[in-house]
Amino acid sequence: MVSFPSVSRELRALDGVRVAADAPLAPLTTIGTGGKAKLLVTVADAPAVVAALKILETCGIPWSCLGAGSDLLVADAGYAGAVIRLDERLQYIEGLPAAPSGNAQPIIVTVGAATLLAHFAAAAAEAGLAGLEFACAIPGSVGGGVAMNAGAYGRSLADVLEEAELASALGTRWSAAGRLKWEYRRCRLPEGVVVTAARFRLAPDETAAILARHCSILDKRCAVQPQGVRTFGSTFKNPSGGAAGRLLEAAGVKGERRGGAEVSSVHANFVVNRGDASTADVLALMSYMRHRVHETSGVLLEPEVRLLGGSFPWESSADGPRRPPSADG
């Protein structure tokens, strides 16, 4: 049987590692629901990640990595393992030109995995580097963005990534973007790795033109997505040839509630925590949303959000989607 206290002591003895036992995860997610992790392991750099993973895997403790907490749901029962989180020392950007350059050659920029995507996009724009405009309003970290192949408006990180630094219990290595397995809103990373840094290939352009594109995207998102609320972002992936939001709106789910969770009245593919939602509330609402779309259009939506410590309600049924509880019970 695993002794979490003894593992915790081993981890605390490592350089660049901080450990918290029975750590609440809800405050670390953008939706603000869910339980605790047995261990929250905060690491300062890639060598610390490697050392921590060696201990966790030797002791047989399951682990998962947490980025900025968007696109993530944590089960109400929590996570019976270790959650690895990168600290602020992995928030850095290297290789930005001191001033916009007239050179047309692409520039490679190295970024720590804990850096926020929106911050990186803004810094690149100020330096006269284009290619990240689509990411200017994505509420996630670089590492999480690579793992999720984050994107918007027809572009994703796979389009601009040169290579990623991957840390595992065996050490660190740089893997070229072309060797990674990219999918829509997902990168199938090798088993047992954490993204600790990434290099991006960006194109010089006029700062004013880049910032104008940022403003256009930000205005568009503010007009069609809920602002100032607790949400993990898009709930379901866009199906082939369609948009999940349009299917959900046609299914009439806007404003639906389950407990403290509500489908946004602004965008039907966003679930909002009204202040007291549980993950069970969110999952019940997602199940209803998915059922309604299947009922009205025949499409089975797949979640874009990741669930830590549990499974989606419909995954337990071998016969397709089950009818969820009605709104009144």
* 304 flagged as catalytic: yes
| All residues at 6 or more sequence positions from 273 whose CB lies less than 8 Å from its CB, including other chains | 31, 32, 33, 229, 230, 231, 260, 261, 282
Task: Annotate 39-58 with three-state secondary structure.
Answer: EEEEECCHHHHHHHHHHHHH
Q: Which is nearest to 124 in space by CA: 214, 221, 12?
A: 214
Q: Write the DSSP symbol of residue 133.
A: G
* 185 flagged as catalytic: yes
Write the burial class of residue 159 (CB in 10 Å: 0-12 exposed, 13-18 middle, 19+ buried). middle
Catalytic residue selected from 133, 163, 256, 304: 304
Catalytic residue selected from 234, 264, 278, 287: 234
- Rounded Cα–Cα distance for residues 230 and 273 (Å): 5
Q: Structure tokens of 258? A: 């389950």
| All residues at 6 or more sequence positions from 204 whose CB lies less than 8 Å from its CB, including other chains | 97, 100, 101, 102, 103, 104, 105, 106, 107, 128, 129, 130
* CA 7, chain centre distance (Å): 27
Catalytic residue selected from 185, 201, 213, 306: 185
Query: Residue 96 in contact with residue 129, Cβ under 8 Å?
Result: yes
Grouping H, G, I as helix, E, B as strand and the rest as coil, residue 296 is helix
Q: Structure tokens of 209? A: 């033109």
- Rounded Cα–Cα distance for residues 327 and 324 (Å): 9
Residues with a catalytic annotation lie at: 185, 234, 304
